[in-house]
């Protein structure tokens, strides 16, 4: 079955001279071939051009849409991570205060540790036990301050990073300081317990005080 060269309409007869749909003359029908044949032969160049243009437009639309999504997505992220000068100052001031408290605590605790180490069990047992108790009380307070400092850092990570602070390093430093305080306290407790056990008869009157201090030193955390 033939088709009209002009509009592609299927002809009712093969020998008709005019298309019964568009009315155009079909004298050149035999030379030109059917509509389907011409498509196969690539004679409809304009159709190919339209197909190419349509494909390009679709690709441009997809590319532009992706670009807009990335642009506004990044803009939203920047808005979330940007801090105002007031927010920065509200973070810097307490941060510096926490650092000062931490340094002061650690300095005082180191002094107490050295005082404890300078005393002899045999000659200064009472003073040595008292020095251990002072160390334990101060270490307990310092650990509480360190925990507060850690909570503050966790709540203000983005602002601290924006002002150049290494948050993971700060967190690791806090945990390291706590571990050192606890380790020193456990060492003191072990030394006192061993000496008290070896001199139980002589230190009978001080057993209750010794027990209290041992619980303090071992309960830090």
In tens, the pLDDT along 76-89 reads 444 445 557 777 88
Residue with the bigger pLDDT between 71 and 182: it is 182
Whether 36 is covered by a domain: the verdict is: no
Give the containing element (helix H, strand E) for 56.
helix 45-81
Residue 65's pLDDT band, with cuts at 50, 70 and 90, is: low
Please give the pLDDT value at position 111: 95
Count other C-beta atoms under 10 Å from residue 68's C-beta: 10
Whether 44 is covered by a domain: the verdict is: no
Count of domains for the chain: 1
Least confident stretch, 39-43, 51-55, 108-112, 148-152: 39-43
Residue 184's pLDDT band, with cuts at 50, 70 and 90, is: very high
Residue with the bigger pLDDT between 116 and 4: it is 116
Please give the pLDDT value at position 220: 81
Residue 31 pLDDT more than 50? no
Give the containing element (helix H, strand E) for 50.
helix 45-81
pTM of the full predicted structure? 0.58
Please give the pLDDT value at position 83: 58
Whether 77 is covered by a domain: the verdict is: no
- The answer to whether 8 touches 2, Cβ cutoff 8 Å, is no
Whether 178 is covered by a domain: the verdict is: yes
Print the domain residue range for 97.
85-218
Please give the pLDDT value at position 76: 46
Residue with the bigger pLDDT between 208 and 58: it is 208
Residue 50 pLDDT more than 70? no
Tell me what the mean pLDDT of segment 192-197 comes to.
87
Whether 63 is covered by a domain: the verdict is: no
Whether 46 is covered by a domain: the verdict is: no
| Core vs surface per residue 161-197: b (16+ CB within 10 A) or e | eeeebeeeebeeebeebbeebbebbeebbeebbebbe
Whether 179 is covered by a domain: the verdict is: yes
- The pair of structure tokens assigned to 17 is 């001279």
pLDDT digit string (tens) for 66-119?
665 665 555 444 444 555 777 788 889 999 999 999 999 999 999 999 999 999
Whether 45 is covered by a domain: the verdict is: no
- The pair of structure tokens assigned to 144 is 């509480």
Please give the pLDDT value at position 18: 74
Please give the pLDDT value at position 112: 95
The mean pLDDT value of the chain amounts to: 79
Please give the pLDDT value at position 32: 47
Residue 190's pLDDT band, with cuts at 50, 70 and 90, is: very high
Residue 148's pLDDT band, with cuts at 50, 70 and 90, is: very high
Q: Which residues on adjacent β-strands are paired with residue 176?
A: none
Count of helices and strands (H, E) across the chain:
8, 0
């Amino acid at each position: 079955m033939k088709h009209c060269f002009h509009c592609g309409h299927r002809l009712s007869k093969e020998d008709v001279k005019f298309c019964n749909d568009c009315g155009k003359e079909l004298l050149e029908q035999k030379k030109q071939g059917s509509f389907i044949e011409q498509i196969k032969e690539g004679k409809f160049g304009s159709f190919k051009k339209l197909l190419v243009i349509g494909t390009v437009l679709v690709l441009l639309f997809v590319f532009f849409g992706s670009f807009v999504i990335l642009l506004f997505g990044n803009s939203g992220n920047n808005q979330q991570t940007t801090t105002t000068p007031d927010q920065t100052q509200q973070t810097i001031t307490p941060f510096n205060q926490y650092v000062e408290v931490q340094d002061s605590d650690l300095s005082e605790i180191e002094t107490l540790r050295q005082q404890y180490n300078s005393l002899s069990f045999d000659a200064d047992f009472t003073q040595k036990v008292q020095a251990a108790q002072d160390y334990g009380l101060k270490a307990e307070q310092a650990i509480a301050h360190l925990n507060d400092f850690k909570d503050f850092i966790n709540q203000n990570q983005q602002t601290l990073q924006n002002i150049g602070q290494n948050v993971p390093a700060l967190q690791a430093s806090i945990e390291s300081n706590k571990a050192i305080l606890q380790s020193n306290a456990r060492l003191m407790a072990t030394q006192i317990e061993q000496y008290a056990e070896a001199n139980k008869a002589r230190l009978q009157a001080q057993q209750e005080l010794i027990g209290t201090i041992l619980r303090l030193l071992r309960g830090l955390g």
